[in-house]
Amino acid sequence: MNERKIENLKTGTTTLGIMFTGGVVLAAERKATMGYLVASKHTRKIVKLTNRLGMTIAGSVGDAQALERYMRAEIKLYEMQEDRKMPVKSVATLVSNILYSRSYFPYYVQLLIGGMDKEARLFSFDPSGSVIEEKEYFSTGSGSVMALGVLENQFKKGMDMESAKKLAVRAVKAATERDIASGGSGIDLVVIDRNGFHEISNEEVKKLLE
């Protein structure tokens, strides 16, 4: 195993997505690590790709940033050529193809893409290009085991937005308390619905945790 693989195996994160009636919630903690070193407590792990499309990132920061730039360019090119918004399913297929094309020198990332067309969609990816549409929820990163335990126990089909927001921050909080590679100074929370991409303020996130 080469040095690059060893370094990335030590990188930890907790991100998640939850479907609710009318949209999708994305959440992530903010710690970035380099082995046993906390490199940053303020890393943004939810990327806004368009005003109705977001991506969560777990894994190598450099690979994630390169992939983000690639995706933004491809989405913009599609919209210029087709004169319409790129469907969430098409974005998911594009990401899958990009990841698969790099199978011999892969991006060391685990991704979630959530967005809104006529209805909300949520997709999960692994570094090999595998893509799965999630109908309820999913979590990525080293803290995902703890987060999924909370989600499995408390998720209900047909949840409203407020219930999904509360569950998202509870699940990420549970992961930060048990996974040494997850944490940082707060939780990022995003709602994507028919009104677009909305970042929830730190103050509201703190209230949701009370």
Q: Which domain holds residue 100?
A: 3-209
Distance between CA 183 and CA 92 in Å, rounded? 28
> What confidence tens digit (pLDDT) does each residue in 25-41 have?
999 998 877 766 777 78
Distance between CA 203 and CA 159 in Å, rounded? 23
Distance between CA 153 and CA 77 in Å, rounded? 42
Q: Which of 44-53, 64-73, 77-86, 172-181 has the lowest mean pLDDT?
A: 172-181
- What separation, in Å, do the N-terminal and C-terminal C-alpha atoms of the chain show? 44
Residue 12 has pLDDT above 80, yes or no: no
User: Residue 186 carries which DSSP code?
Assistant: -
Domain count of the fold of the chain: 1
Say whether 13 is catalytic.
yes
| Helix residue spans in the chain (DSSP H) | 3-9, 61-82, 88-101, 144-154, 161-178, 202-209
Residue 208 has pLDDT above 90, yes or no: yes
pLDDT, position 8: 43
Angle, helices 161-178 vs 202-209, to 10°: value is: 80
The CATH number given to whatever domain includes residue 157 is 3.60.20.10
Catalytic residue among 13, 14, 43, 50: 13
pLDDT, position 202: 93
Which residues, 6+ apart, have CB-to-CB distance to 198 below 8 Å?
190, 191, 192
> What confidence tens digit (pLDDT) does each residue in 107-158 have?
889 999 999 999 999 999 998 899 999 999 999 998 999 999 999 999 999 9
